[in-house]
Amino acid sequence: GAGEAILVDANGNWLETSTGNLWGWQNGCWWTPPLEAGILPGVVRQQLINWCQNH
Protein backbone atom coordinates (compact mmCIF):
# COMPACT_ATOMS: atom_id res chain seq x y z
CA GLY A 1 0.00 0.00 0.00
CA ALA A 2 0.87 3.63 -0.21
CA GLY A 3 2.42 5.49 2.71
CA GLU A 4 1.38 8.95 1.53
CA ALA A 5 -0.95 10.56 -0.99
CA ILE A 6 -0.47 13.73 -3.05
CA LEU A 7 -3.71 15.64 -3.53
CA VAL A 8 -4.18 17.33 -6.91
CA ASP A 9 -6.68 19.78 -8.40
CA ALA A 10 -8.84 19.22 -11.49
CA ASN A 11 -5.89 20.23 -13.71
CA GLY A 12 -3.49 17.77 -12.08
CA ASN A 13 -1.53 20.44 -10.17
CA TRP A 14 -0.01 19.13 -6.96
CA LEU A 15 -1.58 20.84 -3.93
CA GLU A 16 -0.61 19.08 -0.71
CA THR A 17 -0.15 15.65 0.79
CA SER A 18 -2.60 13.79 2.98
CA THR A 19 -0.56 14.83 6.03
CA GLY A 20 1.21 18.08 5.11
CA ASN A 21 2.01 20.91 2.77
CA LEU A 22 4.16 20.57 -0.35
CA TRP A 23 7.32 22.54 -1.05
CA GLY A 24 9.51 22.73 -4.11
CA TRP A 25 12.74 24.41 -5.21
CA GLN A 26 12.75 25.89 -8.70
CA ASN A 27 14.99 28.49 -10.33
CA GLY A 28 16.59 29.40 -7.01
CA CYS A 29 13.30 29.93 -5.16
CA TRP A 30 11.15 27.93 -2.78
CA TRP A 31 7.51 27.53 -3.76
CA THR A 32 4.37 26.11 -2.20
CA PRO A 33 0.85 26.17 -3.63
CA PRO A 34 -1.20 29.25 -2.68
CA LEU A 35 -3.98 29.06 -0.12
CA GLU A 36 -6.39 30.12 -2.88
CA ALA A 37 -5.84 26.67 -4.41
CA GLY A 38 -7.81 25.23 -1.49
CA ILE A 39 -4.95 23.88 0.62
CA LEU A 40 -4.91 23.94 4.41
CA PRO A 41 -3.01 26.86 6.00
CA GLY A 42 -0.39 24.85 7.87
CA VAL A 43 1.29 26.51 10.86
CA VAL A 44 4.80 25.47 9.81
CA ARG A 45 4.02 26.50 6.22
CA GLN A 46 3.36 30.08 7.34
CA GLN A 47 6.44 30.10 9.59
CA LEU A 48 8.62 28.96 6.68
CA ILE A 49 7.09 31.56 4.34
CA ASN A 50 7.82 34.28 6.92
CA TRP A 51 11.38 33.04 7.38
CA CYS A 52 12.03 32.89 3.62
CA GLN A 53 10.69 36.42 3.14
CA ASN A 54 12.98 37.78 5.87
CA HIS A 55 16.22 36.01 4.85
Q: Pick left, alpha or beta for residue 15 (phi over 0 → left; psi -120 to 50 → alpha; otherwise beta).
A: alpha
pLDDT at 31: 92
Model confidence pLDDT, tens digit, residues 1-55: 788 999 999 999 999 999 999 999 999 999 999 999 999 999 999 999 999 999 8
pTM of the complete model = 0.75
- Give CA–CA dist 26/38, Å, rounded: 22
Side chain identity, residue 1: G
Annotated domain spans of the chain? 6-54
